[in-house]
Amino acid sequence: MIRFENVDKWYGTIQCLTGITARVNRGEVVVVCGPSGSGKTTLIRTINGLEPIQGGRILVDGTDIHARGVDINRLRSRIGFVFQSFNLFPHMTVLDNITLAPLKIGNRGRTDAEDTARSLLARVGLSEKADVYPSQLSGGQSQRVAIARALAMSPPVILFDEPTSALDPEMVGEVLQVMKGLAHSGMTMMCVTHEMGFAREVADRIWFMDNGVILEDAPPGEFFTNPRHPRAQRFLSDLRH
């Protein structure tokens, strides 16, 4: 589904991704973790071209998304993306936030798009918020709407960039619940998060990153009980304290 082939990324003279080679298979849930500054967010943002790369290739469903002449907008509509800071459009109602892409680029009729949006809202447990503006939502509700919006074009894969990091602790659970539901429905997911409980429970594999390199790529059972790399061992022991 997603394949990284020897990906390099530089910010000026600082290399922040080095020789990333990895793959996410269809229906898999991959959790990316690691200390801050390790390149997790950069990595996930390269997948839909929010960040350019300087070397290697990234294939999504077989298409090299950084190649010249690629219809990046079409590709992006096939990749859901959920931000740390929600980024809902404050001048639109919740329903309009969700129907924007289907109406403007999906060539869907209004009633059709709104039906889909309402069923997505029901899925994230916010049916009654359809006509409300984002300013009237809590953080947790905003992020659930953002997830519904990311799903509006029915993408086969959805990316999460620290989806719970901007939330008050009591709201983390409701968002993780929605994400677990998605994972169990067989969605291909890649998620940068510090929620190790979530990783342990739903991830098929965990990537541990440090200094722009994927140091470990292992199933959660193996990663949490028996990490091979000393940096990962230290990260996990720091988490426990």
Partner 1 sequence: MLDILRDNWLLFLVGQYPNGPLGGLTMTLLVAVSGLLLAFPCALLIALGRISPYRTFRLPATLVVHVFRGTPFLMVIFWSYFALPLLVGDAIPGFATLVGALVLYESAYLAEVIRAGIEALPKGQYEAARSLGLNYPRTMAYVILPQALFNSLPSVLTQFVSLIKETSLGYVISVNEFTFAAAQVNNLLLTKPVQVFSILAMTFFAVCFSLTQTARMIERRIVRRRSGAAPGARPPVPPIAVESAP
| Least Å from the CB of residue 149 to partner 1 | 7
Q: How many CB atoms lie within 10 A of CB 81?
A: 20
Q: Is 149 in the site for partner 1 (CB under 8 A)?
A: yes
Q: Say whether residue 163 binds partner 1 (CB under 8 A).
A: no
Regarding 165 and contact with partner 1 (CB under 8 A), the answer is no
* Contact with partner 1 (CB under 8 A) among 130, 153, 213, 236: 153
Selected from 109, 119, 127, 168, the binder of partner 1 by CB under 8 A is: 168
What span, in angstroms and rounded, lies between the C-alpha atoms of 146 and 182? 14
Residue 128's alpha-carbon distances to 21, 29, 45, 48, 87, in angstroms, are 44, 30, 32, 31, 21
The piece of 1-9, 147-155, 180-188, 200-208 that touches partner 1 (CB under 8 A) is 147-155
Per-residue binder mask for partner 1 (CB under 8 A), 75-94, x = binder: xxxxx-x-x-xxxxxxx---
User: What does DSSP say about strands 2-11 and 55-60: parallel, antiparallel, or unpaired?
Assistant: antiparallel
Position 110 contacts partner 1 (CB under 8 A):
no
Can residue 160 be called a binding residue for partner 1 (CB under 8 A)? no
Q: Of 49-68, which residues contact partner 1 (CB under 8 A)?
A: 50
Residue 73: closest CA among 51, 97, 48:
48
Task: Count other C-beta atoms under 10 Å from residue 107's C-beta.
Answer: 8
Radius of gyration over alpha carbons of the chain, in Å?
18
Q: Is 213 in the site for partner 1 (CB under 8 A)?
A: no
The C-alpha atoms of residue 121 and residue 149 are separated, in whole angstroms, by 9
Residues lying near partner 1 in the complex (CB under 8 A)? 48, 50, 73-79, 81, 83, 85-91, 100-101, 104-105, 133-139, 142, 149-150, 152-153, 166-168
